[in-house]
Structure 1
């Protein structure tokens, strides 16, 4: 009996259309995916290029040609990377490199630049802006000046004044002097009603519209929104001599190179302008007695705070790790969970909670634990330091507990068993075997923890705000201030903010932390020989 079989080649002609169809569908899907990815890339690069072009124009307008050039070069490099075939590693590295340049390199470089200037309160603009501000802020009404009938308008740039003079309509605002305007263009403004004038009275009375491009001509101001009067500056600026003269007293102020117009007596007109002062900020930090004393005191406390915080949290965390690592300990898992709970709270929130609990008058600690005592935990200098260390211990020991637990569990049990056989006591096993091996892995973390606590702004500022204030200090510095909180106060707290001095302090902190880190890492090399 003969059996007929169908060879595979007999089915091939029937499968060809299906294979072709499947291949065509796969090609179409890949093409669509490629086109979609290309469109997304083009859109992202277009947004980046548009932002970069805007930043370049803005930098050029501010005469920051170096920054404009850097932005342009970076943008061109990114375009080249993403539109050129290949260069796959560069496509992945480019975003991280850009963010590194923006948020690390630029910030460090700009801080260094500010440290060599007098940038701060009264010195936060250029000289032209300072001259204009001086002329505008020292204005008085011209005696017996004529009144100008005005109408207060509201436009895209804020309030403006409409003045009818010699049959011509003139409109101006704070940024733009009075200038003729086409009646048809008045449609872009809205006239303020009487109710609006009452509701925005403060804006109306503070509105000062320059009469012309020449600041000496003064401004028009109105108190009722109906009649404006001419105000001129009591200071007279002489461009050729580069002087400011007080017309009332005749006192002449000159540019003496300190970033402000100064009188012979040393009196300065504010605001001034930002200038390069070289190493003056660093010199002030070490030579000015009022600053030097505060700097030394704060630096000493910063080292003490960082060292004690690391030491106390490490030894408490190590103690708990040893206790909860013992198999004879019942309920170890529950205790471990309870021990790491403080680590789950944000540091700033923990500082605020403890600030309330340690309040002298109604805090939980005084009212409940000490039976209504009035202990000044946060207002006495030494108790405030103790409170800061205690709160930081409460926040920091869970981290050390977790680190030490993992390090202890990684040490082989055979080492301890062999030591027991040789007659070693438990303390000898820990001191001579476990602790050196533990420090091999923990020492770098202790160094990083020291650097973190050296700049631990949150717990200081949220708990005590750096207080209590040191009465004999020439700066706004308190007993619990560390260097970073002192820098914050110099830069952002108070009426006189000195960004230049604060930046100089920041560089000093950076150098100190770097030096400590280098020395510490060199010392830890001896521990690596135990590994």
Structure 2
């Protein structure tokens, strides 16, 4: 007789609090970490979008919004699993490669540079500031320096006893509810923080910023702006230049000269004189044409380009040859103390390149350098003043810095060569040179050819050694932009950009950067294509 089954007791339904706790535990720490990271990304995106909106950078604003929306969709959906891993790399590529290259290309088609920086509105403001004079009969207003969100401004007491407040971006407006201090200057301004007088007097950087600050009286720039010399009183200054937005002209009221806006981003008078302040405009392919049609520029850049190829090729070939030769010697088991000697030979690889260039610069000095004293019997050979000697010296420095890399690479490659192939060639009667030429070198090139191509690209753009060793000198007589005999394309771009001082031409520098990029890309692509022929040796 069968035993009756015991009745199944139903478990009581969980309370709402227990259900919530279980669902929270089910989320896991991974989800919480992802939620925190996405919150940070969204916060960063919102802040960037607000900043882009304030400066009316609509392209950046649109890109930020699109990227944040895509990131939220990818990481909060159960679909698109591959994109969860690919998106960070794609964003990195977009921001640090595509955007930078695209922006450089954009600048290459403009006249952006000295005298043409900023928009037309900024050029007008700069021109009016340069012609500023204190308004005759302008009263002196009690003034306090105020601050809001990192932005400085002025609060003044006008002739009617009312407090007016504003900043460089906001014209003066009435500040209702403001109160005055014992000295008659505003003491409390709603929405603003009054900077203490003691702070103004003790902070020299703040004083300089206050002296440069101009708060417009109204939306019309011709009405002038309030300035201060001591941070406690101010007056209205207006420019002797008058801007007519409809006619696109600036008139000098003292001389009557009228400067008209041109399509070249300048204000030019009938006699050909121009105001210093201009703005950047699109000039099409003009910068690229200048590189080939301007006689002085084309001639100088032609010699710079030839030297760039010579420097890159010789640096790679010589450093590879030295590294390979040392690797062959110290790969021989008959050499005693190979490990110690190998460690000594790779020391230059661990030495900072700029420090090595600076040290060699002193060693090659004609008057007190040890190169002349030790190896040329004290002769004053002008290594840094003669173009050809300087080129030889800078190649020597770069080879000294580069050969340890090839010494390491070739040592590893030699130790991985198939010993049976070399033994078979030796049995067949091949001598050392024949084995090296027919077996060792081809097999080495199979593994090192991509590295040689990469090293060529590095040497082609080796700004550090060129700049720190001799700053591209000696100078080429009559060359524009202070270019020198050892300047390569990348250092020439640096000189043209004007970063080191003097007039800058970012548009021309960007055009030259694009051409250099194309040249390196084409050479690298052709070289990688040719390296496939070496695979037949494997």
Alignment partner of 1:103 is 2:96? yes
Distance 1:31 1:333, change over 3 A: farther
Which residue is equivalent to 1:24? none
Which residue is equivalent to 1:127? 120
TM-score, normalising length: structure 1: 0.88
Paired residue secondary structure (1:237): strand
- Bigger shift: residues 182-191 or 335-344: 182-191
Q: Which runs of 5+ in 1 are unaligned?
A: 1-27
Distance 1:61 1:230, change over 3 A: closer
- Bigger shift: residues 338-347 or 517-526: 517-526
Residue from 197, 201, 206 that aligns with 1:196: 201
Distance 1:282 1:164, change over 3 A: same
Distance 1:257 1:193, change over 3 A: same
Mapped to 1, the partners of 2:342 and 2:276 lie a distance apart of 60
Mapped to 1, the partners of 2:450 and 2:212 lie a distance apart of 59
1:69: Cα distance to partner? 2.2
- Which aligned pairs between 1:233-244 and structure 2 lie closer than 5 A? 233-244=239-250
Which residue is equivalent to 1:155? 147
Residue from 516, 531, 537 that aligns with 1:530: 537
What does the per-residue CA deviation read over 1:149-206, in whole Å, with 9 as the maximum and x for residues that have no partner? 4234343433625233123222344443332223244373145269928967655554
Which residue is equivalent to 2:380? 374
- Which aligned pairs between 1:58-457 and structure 2 lie closer than 5 A? 58-142=51-135, 144-156=136-148, 157-158=151-152, 160-182=154-176, 183-184=178-179, 185-186=188-189, 188-190=193-195, 192=197, 196=201, 202=208, 205-224=211-230, 228-367=234-373, 370=376, 373-457=379-463
- Bigger shift: residues 388-397 or 375-384: 375-384
- Which aligned pairs between 1:466-477 and structure 2 lie closer than 5 A? 466-477=472-483
Q: Which runs of 5+ in 2 are unaligned?
A: 1-20, 180-187
Contact 1:357 / 1:364 at 8 angstroms: preserved in 2?
A: yes
Contact 2:141 / 2:235 at 8 angstroms: preserved in 1?
A: no
Contact 2:200 / 2:231 at 8 angstroms: preserved in 1?
A: no
Q: How many residue pairs were aligned?
A: 503
1:75: Cα distance to partner? 1.3
Mapped to 2, the partners of 1:175 and 1:81 lie a distance apart of 39
- Bigger shift: residues 175-184 or 192-201: 192-201
Mapped to 1, the partners of 2:224 and 2:394 lie a distance apart of 56
Distance 1:165 1:454, change over 3 A: same
Mapped to 2, the partners of 1:147 and 1:197 lie a distance apart of 27
1:484: Cα distance to partner? 0.7
Mapped to 1, the partners of 2:125 and 2:521 lie a distance apart of 44
Contact 1:52 / 1:75 at 8 angstroms: preserved in 2?
A: yes
Distance 1:438 1:148, change over 3 A: same
TM-score, normalising length: structure 2: 0.87
Distance 1:319 1:237, change over 3 A: same
Mapped to 1, the partners of 2:153 and 2:456 lie a distance apart of 55
Mapped to 2, the partners of 1:84 and 1:229 lie a distance apart of 60
Contact 1:294 / 1:475 at 8 angstroms: preserved in 2?
A: no
Alignment partner of 1:494 is 2:501? yes
1:405: Cα distance to partner? 1.7
Mapped to 1, the partners of 2:27 and 2:233 lie a distance apart of 67
Mapped to 1, the partners of 2:200 and 2:416 lie a distance apart of 77
Mapped to 1, the partners of 2:29 and 2:486 lie a distance apart of 57
**RMSD of the alignment, in Å?**
2.6
Paired residue secondary structure (1:529): helix
Contact 1:148 / 1:163 at 8 angstroms: preserved in 2?
A: no
Mapped to 2, the partners of 1:366 and 1:317 lie a distance apart of 26
What does the per-residue CA deviation read over 1:355-408, in whole Å, with 9 as the maximum and x for residues that have no partner? 233334444434555565433322322221111101100011111112222222
What does the per-residue CA deviation read over 1:483-520, in whole Å, with 9 as the maximum and x for residues that have no partner? 01111122222232211111111110011011111222
1:303: Cα distance to partner? 0.2
Contact 1:218 / 1:233 at 8 angstroms: preserved in 2?
A: yes
Mapped to 2, the partners of 1:50 and 1:146 lie a distance apart of 47
